[in-house]
Structure 1
Amino acid sequence: MEFNWWSVTVACASILLGSYAFVFKILRKLNGWYYEFMLGKKQYPLPPGDMGWPLVGNLFAFTKAFKSEDPDSFVNNLVSRYGIGGIYKVHLFGVLPSSYARRRWSELLTNSSIEEHKWLRRLTTAPIVGHNRLAVYFDCIEDIIINSVEEWASMNEPIELLNELKEVSFKIIIRIFLGFNNDSTIATVAYLFSIVKDAVMSFPVNVPGRKEEIIKTRPSSLKRLNLKDIKQMTYLAKVIDETLRKTNLLFGMFREAKADVNINGYVKPKGWKVLSFARAVHLDPQYHLNPQQFNPSRWDDYNVKTSSFFPFGIGSRLCPGMDLGKLEISIFLHYFLLNYKLERVDPECPITCFPAPKPTDNCLTKVVKVTYHST
């Protein structure tokens, strides 16, 4: 009798486990079946991929990856399961994006901008596109950066460097577009912006500072920078590009297919979203050798393809502040690396990568002014 009861118990457990596994598989496939049924018969098959659970889709897996220090695990999982084809179907944020994670994302669909977008772009880009136009604001940008860093160094307590850098950017933008520098206005705009997107760039990389040869060749009467100096900082430009490649401000960019599109033998249905994972492209060894290594020298004589490096977007939606952003970074790093150093309160602070990479303490730091003695 004991043996029979034991056998029955084992049999029931096996049945329950088997039923659970069966139900689990069915639930995991329901989402994909539903959307395939709704699409009907197409000339080409849908891309490979996993549509996740009903309603929530892949959101849990995506959030878990991007809130960890290994955000690339989400895309890497798709690659390991479905190959390196570069296009996969997933279900995120209540919509249906297909991630074309490897190359030529701009070729996924033709994107015709609406007139409002064209008008707004012309309005916003006029003062800030190209170094010749930015030269008008060069002294203003330089003053704001120098005064801000000096103020940080004079404080007796640590600052949240990311938030302070964000405020510097707002001061510059407001000065360019509105013509004044009012602290209350800056605070208001900064607050509104934080509601739209609470993210700003930070990178846990110690950029080596050194005295520029640029300084040695410049007349002693010239104490400030100019655009010519910036253009001569070739290594600094490589550091900036490498930081943008490895840090990845945007985890991806959305578009919507206006019609059925055939891509590599797969259909991209009308109305589905295209999500291009910039991280997957920038950290792809096919385009960037040893992608996890921070190596500014990789940009030596490197003619990178537009489709394999797009930190500011691409096409009609290219960020209009690209030139301004790079100019701000160049001026800031020049003065900071020559005259200051950082003392992190918690150098081991964990990094979160959603919606953009940053330390969870917003880079709580003490800024210390450094004096160099000539020998």
Structure 2
Amino acid sequence: MENASWVVSFPYLLFSIAFPLIIYAIFFKNGRSNLPPGSNGWPIIGETIHFFISGPDKFISDRMKKHSTQVFRTSFVGQKVVVFCGPGGNKFVFNNTQNNVLSLWFPPTLAKIVRLEQDFMHRISASPGASQLLNHTFHEILKTDSLKLFISIFNEITRDHVKNEWKDGREVKVFPLSNLFCFSVACRFLMGISDTDEIKTLASSFDEVKSGFFSVPIDLPGTTFRRAINAGKIVNERVSKIIQRRRKDLQESENEPGLDLLSQVLKIAPGDTNEESQYNSDLRSIIVGILLASTSSPASAITFTLKYLTEMPHIHNQVYQEQMEITKSKGEEDYLTWDDLKKMEYTWNVVREVLRVMTPFILGGFREVKSDLTYAGFTIPKGWKVLWTTQTSHKDPKYFENPEEFNPSRFKSSIHEPYSYVPFGGGRGICPGRDFFKLYMLIFIHNIVTKFKLEKLDPNEGIKYQMTPFPVNGFPVRLVHR
């Protein structure tokens, strides 16, 4: 009888379980049927593993072919992400940030490594008070008139670096040296630090931090992610001490503060001595964030610019001739001037082409959807994340003829499809540091190209991706004095 009762009741039990699931599936389908095409991948981890294995360039291009060339959805470590593609996607994201449609957002892995609060980006963009002051001062110090004051400093840093680290007849690795140079410039510009040992110590911790951004986010002893978290703690502690030290120096000195960002900010608003105050926390976060942004991409750009110059003699010769024309017009010890930099048109076009071909130098940028929005006929729900990217337009033959060909001459004309060339963002989202980047890129390239010829030592060297692409072995070369 018990078995008969079970047989009779089983259909009712099955129905009681299945019916709510059917209703939920119908509701979910109807409520979410207008989502962009794509896949959420595995529960929790989403398509994170595919992203790590294939790399961002291939991951995105494969899904554009499979799903849509305009927009597709994916998932990274519990985050539902919609990738916007091409100039249309770039324009929408750039011009709808901070206007109740999209807000700046950073991945939780980044927040955990460098101790950023999720509302930090909102505060520096929209809130009154200290955070807005920090953001405003940063933008002011990056304006052209302010940057002109830094030219002599950039010249000095570059000459010292080349003299100490790039020596005739040596075999060197370009990427680590370029990374050290960019970090030295950033430390001087942001915090007024010029001590080589202090810079190298801080740079070592930053390298560990960067290695964790695209690692599997498993917080266990011995993992890359755990090492990055520990390095992030060290970075924050050291930057906090630098802030306190600089505040004390300014209070005890009657001299005018330096030109660096930290001095200028503390001059206007000294803040208090509590290291964990909101003001000091935001100041530390801005400095750490800018240090990260102003070292990885420029170091890669320098490395790959020099790499292309060694591999393409016809392009190298044009850069060399342009730089030597400037050298011949100056005294041996004269620094480069603003007018000299404006003459480096071909050299800058080479750099621009490097930023286009070697995508993604910067993967792009994340935003959070503040309220349900519609794009390309699809609905993107509130709370989802949006990712704009560079390679979806940089590698598209509709916007750049023969996109795989390295051709600096394509930039002789400044006429390109709006929002198709976006290594520095665009519209409201354009990077305020683009002129800063151009300034020290050109000064550095001038000092290397006019002094050395680089002989490539590893013809089969591959490329890896961390925050940005970089040669697997650091691009080893032999320096031959001219």
User: When the two structures are superposed, what TM-score results if normalisation uses the length of structure 1?
Assistant: 0.79
1:114 partnered with 2:122: yes
Q: Distance in 2 between matches of 1:97 and 1:241?
A: 29
Correspondence for 1:51 among 36, 40, 43 = 40
- Preserved contact between residue 121 and residue 320 of structure 1 (Cα < 8 Å): no
Q: Secondary structure at the match of 2:321?
A: coil
1:87 partnered with 2:199: no
- Preserved contact between residue 169 and residue 480 of structure 2 (Cα < 8 Å): no
Q: Distance in 2 between matches of 1:37 and 1:148?
A: 65
1:300 partnered with 2:412: yes
Q: Distance in 2 between matches of 1:216 and 1:176?
A: 26
RMSD over equivalenced CA pairs, Å: 2.8
Q: Distance in 2 between matches of 1:299 and 1:134?
A: 24
Partner in structure 2 of residue 205 of structure 1:
308
- Preserved contact between residue 463 and residue 469 of structure 2 (Cα < 8 Å): yes
- Measured after TM superposition, the shift of residue 41 of structure 1 is 4.1
Q: Secondary structure at the match of 1:89?
A: strand
Tell me the number of residue pairs that the alignment of Structure 1 and Structure 2 aligns.
331
Partner in structure 1 of residue 184 of structure 2:
171
Change (3 A) 1:354 1:231: same
Q: Distance in 1 between matches of 2:25 and 2:474?
A: 43
- Measured after TM superposition, the shift of residue 243 of structure 1 is 1.0
User: When the two structures are superposed, what TM-score results if normalisation uses the length of structure 2?
Assistant: 0.62
Q: Distance in 1 between matches of 2:436 and 2:445?
A: 14
1:322 partnered with 2:434: yes
Higher share in helix? 2
- Measured after TM superposition, the shift of residue 216 of structure 1 is 7.6
Partner in structure 1 of residue 171 of structure 2:
158
1:344 partnered with 2:451: no
Instruction: Tell me the alpha carbon deviations over residues 313-366 of structure 1, each in whole angstroms, 9 at most, x when there is no partner.
Output: 335553332211111111111221122122333231111134311111122333
Paired amino acid for 2:82? S
Instruction: Tell me the alpha carbon deviations over residues 164-218 of structure 1, each in whole angstroms, 9 at most, x when there is no partner.
Output: 1122122222223333411232123313432442454132422514222743873
- Preserved contact between residue 87 and residue 418 of structure 2 (Cα < 8 Å): no
Q: After alignment, is 153-162 or 357-366 more displaced?
A: 153-162
Paired amino acid for 1:210? Y
Change (3 A) 1:72 1:300: same
- Measured after TM superposition, the shift of residue 240 of structure 1 is 1.3
Partner in structure 1 of residue 260 of structure 2:
none
Q: Secondary structure at the match of 1:330?
A: helix
Q: Distance in 2 between matches of 1:219 and 1:53?
A: 62
Change (3 A) 1:95 1:38: farther
- Preserved contact between residue 87 and residue 100 of structure 1 (Cα < 8 Å): yes
1:74 partnered with 2:88: no
Q: Distance in 1 between matches of 2:371 and 2:25?
A: 17
Change (3 A) 1:147 1:37: farther
Partner in structure 2 of residue 17 of structure 1:
none
Instruction: Tell me the alpha carbon deviations over residues 220-262 of structure 1, each in whole angstroms, 9 at most, x when there is no partner.
Output: 6884321101112111121111111112311231111101110
Q: Distance in 2 between matches of 1:159 and 1:149?
A: 12
Q: Secondary structure at the match of 1:307?
A: coil
Change (3 A) 1:52 1:59: same
Partner in structure 2 of residue 103 of structure 1:
87
Partner in structure 1 of residue 200 of structure 2:
187
Q: Secondary structure at the match of 1:308?
A: coil
Q: Distance in 1 between matches of 2:137 and 2:376?
A: 38
Gaps of 5+ in 2: 1-21, 99-120, 126-131, 212-295, 310-314
- Preserved contact between residue 250 and residue 356 of structure 1 (Cα < 8 Å): yes
Identical aligned pairs, as a percentage? 26
